[in-house]
Structure 1
């Protein structure tokens, strides 16, 4: 996410901050988890076709690999949380007018590997090998041993 050259936030960044405020409000409601999960699915459905296909596949992989994660949104992006904090998220290319979608992991993801490791990945397609790698990363992120 990069703001404009004069240091202000871009329209996309401002929209993401508004989404974060709405997410916090939904989380406090009686139907917080249920409402957040539906908003996540609605966000995926509203994506451009190529991003939507990737997001749907990521959603299926993450919810299968780590069903204990809560489905929600994080700054308006599909996300999967543990103890209320996003662990993994999907950023569609269209959200910030990027060249590719991104699969990202937050700092609470247990992906530590020495003193240097990736926390986000460019995502342009998902074949069986990529799906298996995503599942393995998600399982590691939530502290499960790779199977």
Structure 2
């Protein structure tokens, strides 16, 4: 992980050969890093702090509009800083099985949605990289002193 993005109250690391793109709007900002294949990782910061589960439902609806027969696996993790909602979506596109992972949570200032995706041919080479990017994510609010 050679590159570091810092901004929008976030910091994360990603491979130097991956391309970073930004879409910034009034209510949300989305950063995406893309591999030279079809694998990508994105983080969306949403102002107004919508419920993470509702944000994830909206993404699932978008996938349902695009693909048939989604397999969904949901989970919830409690960390020292927050509750994190996770979902795995498996679907078929162009005869390849694809996997998308979502993670959503709230900070004091915004809701964060992480989404990454790869196909079966990329799983061995990309899944670990995508997880490392996710694990490197730091929210500015995580660095602030916590009230006792």
TM-score class, shorter-chain normalisation, is 0.3 to 0.5
Structure whose residues are more often strand by fraction: 2
- Normalised TM-score (structure 2): 0.32
Larger RCO of the pair (alpha carbons < 8 Å, separation 6+): 2
Structure whose residues are more often helix by fraction: 1
